[in-house]
Structure 1
Amino acid sequence: MVSEPAITVEVAYALPDKQRITRIAVPAGTTALEAACLSGIAEHFPGLDVETSDMGIFGKTLAKPGERVLTEGERVEIYRPLIADPKEARKLRAARAKDAVRED
């Protein structure tokens, strides 16, 4: 029986006060979601649900992490949910800046 060659990848997750990057060896053909599950990173972050979290590779979001096959050296990033809509936050900042100019 011939086994699949292994590749080394990293899985990363961060909170404002804590981060973890785990390097693991996985069989060639492993998906981003599989690597995140295999890494055991969720054990270090109570409440982290790897199965439903958004993921990316080197800052590029993956639409389907369960289908994206990894290559040697890639880093899977698990993203936290947004606490505010970026467009809405930008509008609020612009409105506050506009009000601040009027007050001067």
Structure 2
Amino acid sequence: MITVEVAYALPHEQKIVAVQVEQGCTAYEAVIKSRIAEVFSQIDPDNDPMGVFGKAIRDPKKEVLKAGDRVEIYRPLIADPKEARAKRAAKLKAQKGQDAQAE
């Protein structure tokens, strides 16, 4: 038996569950065994993307865990990070332009 963690976070709440699993356990199996989907009903282990220590994994059903690994279940992005950065940059540029005109 080895110990791994399963983590899920919302903006104002997070949970990390330590789970004892058999050697050779996959990320998907650890998520199921952790029963974290019973706490957060929005989790869909069959479709939600997952990662181990912040590194995305392609197939959670094939990703074998090592002792001490932390499986993270990812939420869908609310906004595209590139688009959000572009909007912030455009806003800052417009603000600097207004400041320059005011001088």
Same fold by TM-score greater than 0.5: yes
1:100 aligned to which of 84, 90, 95: 95
Give yes or no for the alignment of 1:30 onto 2:18: no
RMSD, matched Cα: 0.9
Secondary structure of residue in 1 paired with 2:19: strand
Alignment of 1:1-104 (within 5 A): 6-104=1-99
Unaligned ranges ≥5, structure 2 = none
* Structure-1 separation of matches of 2:95 and 2:59: 43
Q: Which has the larger radius of gyration?
A: 2
* Structure-2 separation of matches of 1:96 and 1:67: 44
Identity %: 55
Residue type of the partner of 1:37? Answer: I
Deviations 1:4-38 (A, max 9, x none): xx111000001111111000111111111111111
Task: Please report the TM-score for the alignment, with normalisation by the length of structure 1.
Answer: 0.90
Unaligned ranges ≥5, structure 1 = 1-5
* Structure-2 separation of matches of 1:16 and 1:22: 18
Deviates more, 1:43-52 or 1:33-42: 43-52
Q: CA deviation at 1:64?
A: 1.4
Residue type of the partner of 2:13? Answer: K
**Which stretches of structure 1, 4 residues or longer, exceed 3 Å deviation after superposition?**
none
